[in-house]
Amino acid sequence: MIARRMDSLTTQFFASLDERITALKTKGVDVIRLDVGSPDMPPAPFIVEALAKAAAKPDRHGYQPHTGNSALRQAWAEMYRREYGVLIDADREIMPLLGSKEGIFHLHQSLINSGDIVLIPDPAYLTYTQATRFAGGEAYYFPLLPERGFTPDFSAIPENVLSRAKLLWLNYPNNPTGASVGKEFFEEVISFSAQRGILVCHDAAYTQVTFDGYKAPSILVVPGAKETAVEFNTLSKSHNMAGWRVGAILGNQSTIKTLYRLKTNVDSGHFLPVMEAASAAMTQEQAWIAERNQIYQKRRDVLIAGLNKLGLQPGKPQASLYVWCPVPDGWTSAVFCEALLERSHVSVTPGTVFGACGEGFVRIAYTSPLERIEQALGNMSQIWASFERSAG
């Protein structure tokens, strides 16, 4: 027997895509994956060394506090002071997470009742919707449109929706569009949420993957933000530690306390050597991140130049790991992605995976080596005439 609540969940898109690509590979097909935003480069060597050194100690293998050790919380606070100019109380305004995805999902279970509305961008990271549905809440989608730089128009949300809204999700630098914002945008958001009594949940996964001199702000830099907002951060993208599952929720104390109560019943905290290595990652030498971003920037530039040559004309993101690329005239996002996979053996993500407003776009990740990106562009150019004929 399956619980009725499972009816709200579908198999995650990328899990199904993995199965499809595995089947192609067993037939000898060389699939170039530009679909998943999983960093292909490792963390800095000193981070791995810190993990290995700690794991070799016999007293590092027991259960740990749900709040993490003091060193880890202090490391998060130090990184926020250094990178964003935000002062965080390490004892009350931070709670470590087993990756930000876990915290995002569980937050809804701790705050949302049946009938509560969660305001979700369209397009957006899939977990916001899945978590809302699983908690019994109602998702209201507000569009992120190119003409607004993929930022929301809160004035277009109906009053009867706002009166029932409990959470508002934002994510900048944005996945999937790559859009970025400045502090003034977050000032408007905090003013809006304070007037409405809506908790802002900002997913800050890409704030340290930036280019062209852009520096992404934290929403918590806005005065008064901690009264009405929480921010989810992670070392997955910033420090190439996606598989380590190291994240945190920061900001509003009451929200963190509530999520803590749930988590004490769900998990048993991090492995201590992971915490020690994560602390080193956030507090020791950081110059390697800028060097890593230069590699991503080069990949981005090559990818955009190649897509422009094909006539697709994507925007140029100042942050994130993605190019949000329009599909050719006459194609839907899903059909175009299917054709790319079958004809050129290049895997990208249909924009509609992230919401209805993603139609007409595909998300292309530059988390593969430059030579693979160049190979993908070459494969696409070789069969481009057949795409144009199919569209016609």
Reading the block at residue 243, the tokens are 């598989």
In angstroms, the CA 178 to CA 188 distance is 20
In angstroms, the CA 235 to CA 357 distance is 29
In angstroms, the CA 349 to CA 127 distance is 16
Q: What is the pLDDT of residues 223-271, one digit of tens each?
A: 999 999 999 999 999 999 999 999 999 999 999 999 999 999 998 889 9
Whether residue 133 contacts residue 6, with contact meaning beta carbons closer than 8 Å, is answered with: no
Sort strands 247-251 and 229-234 into parallel, antiparallel or unpaired. antiparallel
Provide the pLDDT for residue 388: 64
CA proximity to 117, closest of 133, 137, 136: 137
Residues linked to residue 140 through DSSP beta bridges, in sequence order: 119
Amino acid making up residue 116: D
Matching residue, tokens 């890593």: 292
In angstroms, the CA 365 to CA 206 distance is 13
Provide the pLDDT for residue 391: 58
Sort strands 117-122 and 138-143 into parallel, antiparallel or unpaired. parallel
Angle, to 10 degrees, between the axis of helix 100-111 and the axis of helix 126-134?
30
Residues near 85 by beta carbon (within 8 Å), at least 6 away in sequence: 221
Provide the pLDDT for residue 16: 75
Provide the pLDDT for residue 3: 80
Whether residue 261 contacts residue 110, with contact meaning beta carbons closer than 8 Å, is answered with: yes
CA proximity to 175, closest of 157, 150, 152: 150
Amino acid making up residue 379: N
Whether residue 237 contacts residue 244, with contact meaning beta carbons closer than 8 Å, is answered with: no
In angstroms, the CA 306 to CA 309 distance is 5
Record the pTM. 0.94
Matching residue, tokens 């598989």: 243
In angstroms, the CA 247 to CA 77 distance is 13
Matching residue, tokens 């050719």: 328
In angstroms, the CA 53 to CA 69 distance is 17
Given a cut of 50, the residues of the chain with pLDDT beneath it are none
Report the half-sphere exposure of 90 (CA within 13 A, side-chain side): 14
Whether residue 135 contacts residue 127, with contact meaning beta carbons closer than 8 Å, is answered with: no
Domains of the chain, with CATH numbers? 4-43+287-383 (3.90.1150.10), 57-283 (3.40.640.10)
Residue 67, CA distances (Å) to 26, 50, 103 in order:
44, 21, 13
In angstroms, the CA 359 to CA 376 distance is 22
Q: What is the pLDDT of residues 358-387, one digit of tens each?
A: 999 999 999 999 999 999 999 998 877 776
Provide the pLDDT for residue 12: 66
Q: What is the DSSP string of 118-142?
A: EEEEES--HHHHHHHHHTT-EEEEE
